[in-house]
Structure 1
Amino acid sequence: MLHYPPTLAYAQQQDQDDPLRSFRDKFLIPKKDGKTITYLCGNSLGLQPKSVRQVLERELDVWQNHGVEGWFEGKEPWLYYHKYCKQTLAEIVGAKPSEVCPMNNLTVNLHLMLTSFYRPEGTRTRVLTVAGDFPSDQYALETHVRSRGLDPADTIIEIKPEAGSYTLKTETLLDAIREHQGTLALVMMSGLHYYTGQVFDMKAIAAEANRHGIKVGFDLAHAVGNAPLQLRDWGVDFATWCSYKYLNSGPGGVSGIFVHEKNHDADLPRLAGWWGYDEARRFEMTPGFVPMPGADGWQLSTPTILALAVHRASLAIFEQAGIGNLRTKSERLTGYLEYILGEINQKFGNPITIMTPAEPAARGCQLSLLVEKDGKKLFDTLVENNIIGDWREPNCIRLAPTPLYNSFEDVWRVGEVFEEFYNNANAYNSF
């Protein structure tokens, strides 16, 4: 672990030297009682870009002035709106523009992807995943397996960490794929675990699955816009994500999918909708589904233009900042938080366990803290001091310093409140 002087002066100097410092000003930082909040909850909901109101008003003006003709008139007709997002999305996830499409919501897309890529046949009927994945993933897999007439208890293989460990070793996952290769139809799991903050080695997992002819897909809800992704080069078959966390596209914002080019011409079953029909012939209203090329062919319904406008506004900020630059800052910010928490542990007898891996490659910006004693009281103290993180029962605090809008001083402030909390606790216990 690098050494970071845990002083306010150091934090402020890092912010002054930060080449991305101006991007904080592109967001609306919440305030409470006139004081700016220290917001470390981008892993649940990203902050609102200042540009959002303007882009929404622009599309509302189009609606007002053109009505239904807004789909076809003006400089940027709504008919093609999903295409305006594709280039930047492709750069963020490591794909070609034809392999990505913003559409629907995450669990809807997950069901669409499972329809196409979970193809139980013969002895290969099972799905390998990680234990304790986000509930939507669990429910989607369970109900999809049942819809094929199979028993989830026998069909879904959940891989757990070793006893005494909070995270999974890559080799444990690879060994499981090798062990069950003859019965696996699909590997489907999160790319970054929502609870522990662990980034799984998607490249190695995809390579092992590909080696045995097993389809592989990832839920990237907590990874997209946060962890480095090269889905195309890794040979991932499909992925889906939400945009309201690190992509800052508003509560319940539009989701997105990745479908590898190798699957574009495959004869895959799919649940089809009008908007996925060949764009050039869509308004002929003819029977017989003819999909658009690439990921666009998995679209279902008319897109929500206002949601796409917000999404596009946030993606423009990513385009300006550069996903590689953001990752560099993220590693430093989270490293600084890790160091400060280490100092707290050293001073107060290790009251905090960081469940998230220490290796930068195995985590995004989030650190998940296990606080066995007075965890909820500590979390409430953070809130009382205008620091917004995330509480997960029974004893987990998640903090996510996000490089677009968080600062080193934000991280230093967390350490200040932690130290005050434990100083007060020690003073109380000494009586």
Structure 2
Amino acid sequence: MRIGIDKIGFYAPHFFVDMEKLAEARGVDPAKYTIGIGQEKMAVAPITQDAVTLAANAALRIIDEEDLAKIDLVIFGTESGIDNSKSGAVYVHDLLGIQEHARCIELKQACYGATAGIQLAKGHVALNPESRVLVLGSDISRYGIGTAGEVTQGAGAVAMIISAEPRILALENESSYLTADVMDFWRPIYSETAFVDGKYSNEQYIAFFLNTWEEFKAKYGATLSDFEAICFHLPYTKMGLKALREVLDEGSESDRERLLAHYQTSTIYNKIVGNIYTGSLYLSLLSLLELSHDLKAGDKIGLFSYGSGAVGEFFAGTLQDGFKEALAAAEHGKLFAGRKEVTVKEYEEIFSHVLPVDGSNIELDVESDPATICIEGMEDNKRIYLNKTR
């Protein structure tokens, strides 16, 4: 029985800031951001959006009535959780109207959370072939205005339906993974922004990729020629390229050309969204699948997932017959085309406008947010969510 990604959808807030203009405002050569880091635009989340609403809006783009009846497990991968007790999955379950006999959980391991969710989902479907699992990777990346990490901020969510006999990507059982206790990136409970040792984190990312790739080769006899493309977790789009270059000499000239060309296609969406933590790898996969013109059924796609702190995994999937028809490329194109550019000053104001943490009540202007699902306000220390279609 094949198990894998049957549907995949994406959502980003309707605001973005241009990275060249941000660089100029910070007194930095724009090429450092656009070429050195590899980012063009950065999604900016208004106060009416959080990890829950982004995830729910992403899922809305792919689910139908049959999904609502068959989903019996919702797994929410995030490091932007809104509650230390209640999972974001429970909110999404309600906002979407998923049938009540379902398990709902939240997973946390930095940017690895959604990958952990997919692996758990595979096991659930193996035991329950008629089930469908909704896996969510949703985050708002915040380092702070004027910080070194500001250029790698972003916001968005990826939603995936994992099922038997998937229409898009059948996930292989072959996998290699690694855990080590390193402090390359962290966000203490008391902090609204993350801390990162940038140089060390880059080194750990590459080290984890090389370790898991070597383990994958040793376990399964794999070579670069086995893969039509390799997608990476992308905190910024140059990061994956640095890792890929470490192994390109293992392949032929044809392998190098193919993998580099597909890598560039896999970064297009990430370049105009920014870092979305748990969803970044799957946004890269989505970019590759929707924008590539020469992928075909039977092609094997490698996937490298990395979550600081740190856990890494290399695994793979095989494209299925008719996978293009199961994608929502036109919908995602409309989403990107409908976004609004904000000035650097406007971005700073949006960034600084946060929900109260002192128990105050607040009512928000949801009419200014075109998203179907928004935060309507706060009351008695509870976030009030709104699905505009109800």
Fold match by TM threshold 0.5: no
Q: Relative to total residues, which structure has the larger helix share, 1 or 2?
A: 1
Q: Relative to total residues, which structure has the larger strand share, 1 or 2?
A: 2
Question: Structure 2 length as normaliser, TM-score?
Answer: 0.30
Question: Structure 1 length as normaliser, TM-score?
Answer: 0.28
